[in-house]
Amino acid sequence: MVDQPPPLNAKVLTVSDGVVAGTREDTSGEALAGRLTMAGWTVLDHRVVADGTETVREALLEMADGFTGVIATTGGTGFGPRDLTPEGTREAIEREAPGIAEAMRLVNPLGRLSRGVAGTVGETLVINGPGSTKGAVETLEAVLDVLPHVVQLMRGDTAH
């Protein structure tokens, strides 16, 4: 019998006051979930929270509890006064993954405006993407090829 590879599980967190208030559609979160699914990931959860350090930190910690996989966030990585996703993420993660965040920024000249971070909490990798639909998908695609290996390493499987 051939060993099946472990499942690739993901969650999506949209950070947006407008989506929470019902004045904006969550197109970037839906696009991230769709792109992950298309790449063979199972999206187990998709949440929306208001902008802010505490809301992001609390959502990430709750979503990561007992979870092995990737949480892709969208929104709150810019310079607006309520763009605090990186701050909330830093309060939730245990170790930063700067190479992943840097790769995400390099896909587009506007990436230089991103303050997004990446890092781990337990066996979960959190990656921050921008709130625009195009930017969220582009930045995910910049690192999608290495994400299965990251999850494998977080599980403690270093044999490959």
Q: For residue range 130-152, what is the model confidence (pLDDT) as tens digits?
A: 999 999 999 999 999 999 999 99
Q: What is the mean pLDDT of residues 90-117?
A: 95
Residue 132 makes CB contacts below 8 A (sequence gap 6+) with: 28
**Predicted pLDDT at 157:** 80
- Separation between Cα atoms, residue 112 and residue 101, nearest integer Å: 11
Beta bridge partners of 10: 43, 70
In eight-state DSSP terms, residue 75 is S
| Residues comprising the chain, all counted | 160
Q: Are the C-beta atoms of residues 75 and 37 closer than 8 Å to each other?
A: no
pLDDT band at 4 (very low <50, low <70, confident <90, very high): low
Please give the class, per CATH, of domain 9-153: alpha beta
User: What is the average pLDDT score of the chain?
Assistant: 94
